């Protein structure tokens, strides 16, 4: 059976993508870079949905619908997050996570 | 094995797509220049669109390119232009934090890997093999119409929220 016809291939790909994104969220300090990493994580989830949909689900349309919803919510999330980042930059003159500690006691 | 058989070509193209996805993801996370990060993200998303093609859904692949590469990456580019100048010196990465993040991500990786190895998936009985865009459209406007409307409402609210949040620039403040 070819590689692209097995469920596990896609699951491993999504796993690696997820872990790369998770590392980015944990390690990066630029707010925009953190947002980019979150997009990677969302894409890993999308690949998982699509793979399960392709190989296991009873109806092929369901996973595609869910993936489309993930994309729409990701677009909304990106818009809000970017506007927050710009607001933070205006106030603190920095997009570094470690500078944004106004709420620290 | 014939090197030019459709099977081999498809496998080779699949490996290429996977390599593009992972390379883009690595650039998106590891490069120091934030603009290179966005370009890496776009590369990775193109790869993911290719993976969706292999998963039998050209429509979702198209939407991936349209929404993620076309909209989100461009929006991030605008945010980069509106925020910190790129020529400023960046603070050096602290080794302890990088190691901590590597350890955390590695722990999650090992946990999920073990989980994947140990699980056997049983497919549900297939009720339909209809992958067409028409079916998808019918589903979006019948079974999932509530979520569809909710998502449009969410996008509207997010747009308004983004405008309200990011207002207050030159002139108004």
Average pLDDT over residues A57-64: 82
Q: Which of B28, B57, B91 is facing A40, going by the closest CB pair?
A: B28
pLDDT, tens digit, for every residue of B99-130? 999 999 999 999 999 999 998 888 888 777 77
- Whether residue A94 contacts residue B84, with contact meaning beta carbons closer than 8 Å, is answered with yes
Contacts of B119 (CB under 8 A, 6+ apart): none
Q: What is the pLDDT of residue B171?
A: 56
SS3 state at A93: coil
Q: What is the pLDDT of residue A22?
A: 95
Q: In this complex, do A22 and B104 lie within 8 Å of one another by their Cβ atoms?
A: yes
Is B173's pLDDT higher than 70? no
Contacts of B95 (CB under 8 A, 6+ apart): none
How far CA B62 is from CA of A92, A100, B101, in Å, comes to: 39, 37, 34
Q: In angstroms, rounded to a whole number, what is the distance separating the alpha carbons of residues A99 and B12? A: 46
Q: In this complex, do B82 and A89 lie within 8 Å of one another by their Cβ atoms?
A: yes
In percent, how much of chain B has pLDDT > 70? 97
Q: In angstroms, rounded to a whole number, what is the distance separating the alpha carbons of residues B116 and B39? A: 31
Least reliable range by pLDDT among A67-76, A92-101, B49-58, B153-162: A92-101
Residues of A within 8 A of B135 (CB-CB) are 60-61
Q: In angstroms, rounded to a whole number, what is the distance separating the alpha carbons of residues A40 and A36? A: 7
The distance between the two most distant Cα atoms of chain B, rounded to a whole number of Å, is 70
pLDDT, tens digit, for every residue of B130-146? 778 888 888 889 989 99
Angle at which helices A7-27 and B6-30 cross, to 10°: 10
Residues of B within 8 A of A65 (CB-CB) are 136, 139-140, 144, 147
Chain B: give the shortest CA distance to residue A104, in Å: 20
Q: Which of A18, A65, A86 is facing B82, going by the closest CB pair?
A: A86
Q: In this complex, do B51 and A75 lie within 8 Å of one another by their Cβ atoms?
A: no
Written as six digits, the tokens of B111 are: 């946990």
Residues of A within 8 A of B80 (CB-CB) are 32
Residues of B within 8 A of A1 (CB-CB) are none
Q: In angstroms, rounded to a whole number, what is the distance separating the alpha carbons of residues B22 and B15? A: 11
Does A39 lie at the interface with B, CB-CB under 8 angstroms?
yes
State the complex-level ipTM: 0.92
Find the distance separating the first CA and the last CA of chain A, reported in whole Å: 59
H or E stretch covering A74: helix A60-92
Q: In this complex, do A71 and B67 lie within 8 Å of one another by their Cβ atoms?
A: yes
The Cβ of residue A82 has, within 10 Å, a number of other Cβ atoms equal to 24
Q: In this complex, do A60 and B102 lie within 8 Å of one another by their Cβ atoms?
A: no
Q: What is the pLDDT of residue A44?
A: 95
Q: What's the pTM?
A: 0.90
């Amino acid at each position: 059976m070819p590689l692209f016809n097995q469920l596990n291939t896609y699951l491993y790909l999504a796993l690696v993508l997820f872990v790369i994104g998770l590392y980015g969220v944990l390690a990066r300090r630029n707010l925009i870079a953190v947002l980019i990493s979150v997009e990677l994580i969302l894409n890993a989830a999308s690949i998982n949905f699509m793979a399960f949909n392709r190989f296991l689900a009873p109806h092929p349309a369901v996973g595609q619908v869910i993936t489309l919803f993930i994309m729409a919510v990701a677009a909304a999330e990106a818009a809000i997050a970017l506007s927050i980042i710009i607001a933070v930059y205006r106030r603190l003159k920095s997009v570094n996570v470690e500078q944004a500690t106004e709420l620290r006691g | 094995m014939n090197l030019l058989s459709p099977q081999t070509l498809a496998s080779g193209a699949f490996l290429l797509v996977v390599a593009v996805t992972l390379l883009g993801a690595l650039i998106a996370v590891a490069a120091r220049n934030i603009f290179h990060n966005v370009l890496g993200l776009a590369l990775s998303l193109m790869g993911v669109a290719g993976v969706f093609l292999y998963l039998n859904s050209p429509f979702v692949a198209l939407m991936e390119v349209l929404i993620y590469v076309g909209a989100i990456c461009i929006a991030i580019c605008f945010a980069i232009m509106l925020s910190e100048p790129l020529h400023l010196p960046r603070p050096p990465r602290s080794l302890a934090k990088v190691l901590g993040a590597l350890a955390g991500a590695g722990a999650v990786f090992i946990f999920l890997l073990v989980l994947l190895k140990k699980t056997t998936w049983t497919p549900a009985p297939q009720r339909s093999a209809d992958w067409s865009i028409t079916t998808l459209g019918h589903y979006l406007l019948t079974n999932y119409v509530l979520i569809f409307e909710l998502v449009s409402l969410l996008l509207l609210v997010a747009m308004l929220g983004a405008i309200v949040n990011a207002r207050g620039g030159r002139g108004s403040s």
